[in-house]
Amino acid sequence: MDIKYHAQFLLDKERGKSSAKLRFRIKWEGNIVAFNLGYRVDTDKWNTETQRCKANTTHGDKKVSASIINRKIQQFEQACETVFKKFEIKNSIPDADQYRDFFNEEIGKKPKVNSEKSFFEIFDSFVEEETRNSHWKERTIQKMKTLKNKLIEFNPNLKFEDLDEEGFLSFQFFLESKNYKNSTVLKEFRSLKWFLRWAKRKNFQPNPYFEIYQPKLKNIPKKVIFLTQDELKKLREYAIPDSKRYLERIRDVFLFQCFTGLRYSDVYNLRKSNIRDGIIEITTIKTSDNLTIELNTHSRNILNKYKDEGFPGNKALPVISNQKMNDYLKELAELAEIDEPVVQTFYKGSKRIDEVLPKFALIGTHCGRRTFICNALSLGIPPQVVMKWTGHSDYSAMKPYIDIADQIKANAMEKFDLI
């Protein structure tokens, strides 16, 4: 990568004054940053073409030598080039804040550290503040606690300054030594960077290297697990034995997800008051999107089945805990013989591992939402319509599902070969 930029030294001229503040302005990819060199330059002793003070001159009230100012100019030019090179090596384009942090680091200007708290005390403050301000759920809190425990095991005396390039590499090797999947290692780094961005905003974090560090690990996107139309029909029509009647409600809730695209959290919180005139109107728990979802025959029949039952909180459906429902779904899918072998590929370090599991072992509540999306697209419903139902605002988030739908249609076309 070669980042195109324009750098220029400018004099901030002021009316009635013979000297001006010397600034360094850098432009690239729609970004602009400017730095003050800390000197005043006499405007008539400045060479615009060479971007230097004229030789053997002095400047400002303090009569600073041109050679001193010119050395500072050269230092800023070198820092400018060095910072861009760092980002080019990482194949990344910095934003203004990232560039400013790296530039200040390069010229030796350290940000003021907020306090003398330890790294892990600051980490606790981060979790406490974000839990309160961002309404973190228990799952996110637990994720951060797990990261903290791993960092303590890695280095119980960890400091911000330890997290330079060597420090990040050491932490990566530490995680790899624990035999974690590459996807897990990458998730830990995303969580760590989340904390470090917060710390930077709070002036706790002086080292900007975390902004561009990317673990060089092979990773394969997780396979989208969903039920095909045939599997969905098979599950729907499966005759649950009398000894397993507790699975009936599990199936109803799951099928409702498959025919509405709702997440588990939204089905769990669905109230009867959210449903009227054949339409579901809800504000999603995860993203706070306002969704309007029309009922179809399948989803309407499930709601009608439970319309006269009174569930706590006036809930519309008998939804149990996510963990229990996941366990029961696997049991139900196994009984219904949803057992197509699925190859799960992942990496641990440089080692590729192919794991073959029956589909029922991979089914969980989120499979319902994925089933809805994949089947809706394969039926020819336009992505923009599906996105209205699911709340996806980013088209790129739909791409994995669109690819699956295209594959389904391609395989369907092959059936003509049998005629």
Instruction: Tell me, yes or no, if the pTM score tops 0.75.
Output: no
Give the contacts of 357 (CB within 8 A, at least 6 positions apart). 341, 342, 344
Pairwise CA distance, residues 352 & 281, whole Å: 45
Average pLDDT over the chain, rounded to an integer: 90
294 confidence band (pLDDT: 50, 70, 90):
very high
394 confidence band (pLDDT: 50, 70, 90):
confident
CA distances 68 to 13, 51, 71, 73, 373, Å, are 21, 14, 5, 9, 66
Mean pLDDT value of segment 273-300 = 92
- Residues 179, 181, 187, 191, Cα dihedral to 10°: -10
How confident is the model over 162-175, as pLDDT tens digits? 998 899 999 999 99
Domain range 229-418, its CATH number among 3.90.1150.10, 1.20.58.220, 1.10.443.10, 3.20.20.105 = 1.10.443.10
How confident is the model over 88-126, as pLDDT tens digits? 988 889 999 889 888 988 898 766 656 678 999 999 999
Sketch the domain layout of the chain as residue ranges: 6-106, 119-211, 229-418
Write the burial class of residue 312 (CB in 10 Å: 0-12 exposed, 13-18 middle, 19+ buried): exposed
Whether the per-residue pLDDT at 223 is higher than 90: the answer is: no
Helices 247-260, 229-237: axis angle to 10 degrees equals 150
The tokens for 411 are 């395989």
Pairwise CA distance, residues 306 & 315, whole Å: 10
Pairwise CA distance, residues 284 & 260, whole Å: 13
pLDDT at 202: 85
pLDDT at 114: 60
How confident is the model over 9-20, as pLDDT tens digits? 999 988 888 899
How confident is the model over 341-374, as pLDDT tens digits? 999 999 998 899 999 999 999 999 999 999 999 9
